[in-house]
Amino acid sequence: MQPNRLCFLDAQPMPDMVQAGAFDLSGLLAALSAKIKQMGAVRIVFDALDIILALLPNATARHFEMNRLHQWLLGHQVTALITAKAGGSDTSSAGQPFGFVQFMVDCSVVLNHRVDMGVSQRNLRVEKYRGSSFNEDESPFVIGKNGFDVAMARSLGRADTTVTSERVSSGVKRLDTMLDGGYFRGASVLITGFPGTAKTTLSGAFAEACCKRGDRTMFVSFDSDGSEVVRNLTSVGIHLQRYVEKGSLRMISARTFTGSAETLLVHIKTLAKEHQARCVVIDPISALAKAGNELTAHAVVERLIDWSKGAGVTLVCTSLLDEISSDAHNRTPLQVSTMADTWIHLNYLVQAGERNRGMSIIKSRGTAHSNQVREMILSKDGVTLADIYTAGGEVLMGTMRWQKESAERLAGDVAEVSAKLKHVSLDAEQAVLEVRAKSLRTELVAKKVEKDLLIRTTAVRKREMSGGRARMRELRGGDIAPQAKSSKKAKP
């Protein structure tokens, strides 16, 4: 810091100080006037001014000295920040012992700190701000290593999110097909289901796919230690350790985290910025709604999703469902499902004493997604989805599907053999008919030849007989019959 740019003045009363005679702020203000002239200061902070004002004998004197301070500030034209301790249960500055101050100042901000079910909650509210519009609602804040972080949602009408049509893989090839190409870059994805439905596995597959394509990724786990998550996912063909060692994947173990949901949000944002993460996994986000955070968790999730969209971070969150409700659409805590761009639901399907995992896409904004319920199969080779298989209007999975498929395959084999036998039989019958047809054609030809021969033989015989009778008459010296003569004369 440059010299003569900042000056601290310790004006706190000594513990053993004994007040004698009248007291006012004129001496303090005179010293500050000299220091302002020396430094050329344009800003001044009065921290815990209520301690000095408490030395005054009554409210009238305190009011008079505050007027003196107000006129002094106007005369020196410096920007002043004044802090004072509030007392009692009244959360407005007007109801406090020094509430009259807020009528003098241009901007009044009230800070409060309370503990709800053992969880610390800090909030602030702007009571007035002359000449400017402001948000009158109470806003939570967190004090961290990066300073004073106030949680604020985006203003109405503000649109600073970069919308892209780029797709990123979910880590499961057949799920990408169901999503018409995968998740949108910068989208918020919610994966819901009961314990054991492979929510962590599906989010782990996404994290591996992100690292494979070179996206820096952060995985926040509330249920298990990060090293345990890496080890467990190895059993289903998801290998994250190499990416942890390379530094492209950062595993955050948050199971022992204490503090408010607001504090956790600040930590997640800070760690993601430090890691330069383009993809973030939170498993499960429903952990934000732990005791003491039920009222604030929903707003925290809203700001988390808003932050991820503004930063272009693809966010995948898992969430446990409320096992009491029978309606899947009403079982998502924090109402995350209404905010997420894509909602994937995992469930159990019990058939024939066997439990199988089913997966369906409830919604995916901007995507022509599949409406089918697929069986999710986990093996040492990874995660895959089976083709839809129905029988009698019911989706079959596991052993029942295998049995039905086996029966259908057997029936198909029997039908195939029967068809082959029928084909052979028809071939034989066709051959017999062809032989018979050939024999009939031969017989027909023979009959035609025989008929022609008969016709020619008859004609020849008639001519020979006619000629023979005439010759016999000649040889016998007989006369020619009248008819024979006339026929002879008629010949040329």
Task: Give the span between the Cα atoms of 412 and 416, in whole angstroms.
Answer: 6
pLDDT above 50 for 330: no
Neighbours of 434 (CB within 10 A): 10
User: By mean pLDDT, which of 219-223, 272-276, 373-377, 479-483 is the weakest?
Assistant: 479-483
pLDDT above 90 for 250: yes
pLDDT score for 47: 87
Q: Which residue has the tokens 């599949």?
A: 370
pLDDT score for 315: 93
**Residue 351 pLDDT level (bands cut at 50, 70, 90):** low
CATH class of 167-388: alpha beta
Task: Give the span between the Cα atoms of 366 and 296, in whole angstroms.
Answer: 30
Do residues 166 and 185 touch, judged by C-beta distance below 8 A?
A: yes
3-state secondary structure of 382: strand
Do residues 425 and 432 touch, judged by C-beta distance below 8 A?
A: no
User: By mean pLDDT, which of 168-172, 316-320, 468-472 is the weakest?
Assistant: 468-472
More confident residue, 400 or 308: 308
Fold annotation for 26-150: Rossmann fold (3.40.50)
Task: Give the span between the Cα atoms of 155 and 137, in whole angstroms.
Answer: 13
More confident residue, 281 or 24: 281
pTM for this predicted structure: 0.67
Q: What is the largest CA-CA distance in the chain?
A: 200
Cα Rg of the chain (Å, integer): 49
Q: Hey, what are 480's tokens?
A: 């020619």
pLDDT score for 38: 86
3-state secondary structure of 250: strand
**Residue 50 pLDDT level (bands cut at 50, 70, 90):** confident
Domains 26-150 and 167-388 share a fold: yes
Give, as one character, the DSSP assignment of residue 339. T
Provide the mean pLDDT of the chain.
Answer: 80
279 DSSP β-pair partners: 217, 314
356-373: buried (b, 16+ CB within 10 Å) or exposed (e) per residue? Answer: bbbbbbbebeebebbeeb
135 CB-near residues (< 8 Å, 6+ apart): 126, 152
390 DSSP β-pair partners: 395
3-state secondary structure of 364: strand
pLDDT score for 202: 92
Question: Model confidence over 274-303: pLDDT tens digits?
Answer: 999 999 999 888 777 775 566 677 778 888
Do residues 297 and 121 touch, judged by C-beta distance below 8 A?
A: no
Q: What are the residue ranges spanned by the domains of the chain?
A: 26-150, 167-388
Percent of the chain past pLDDT 90, that is, above it, reads 15
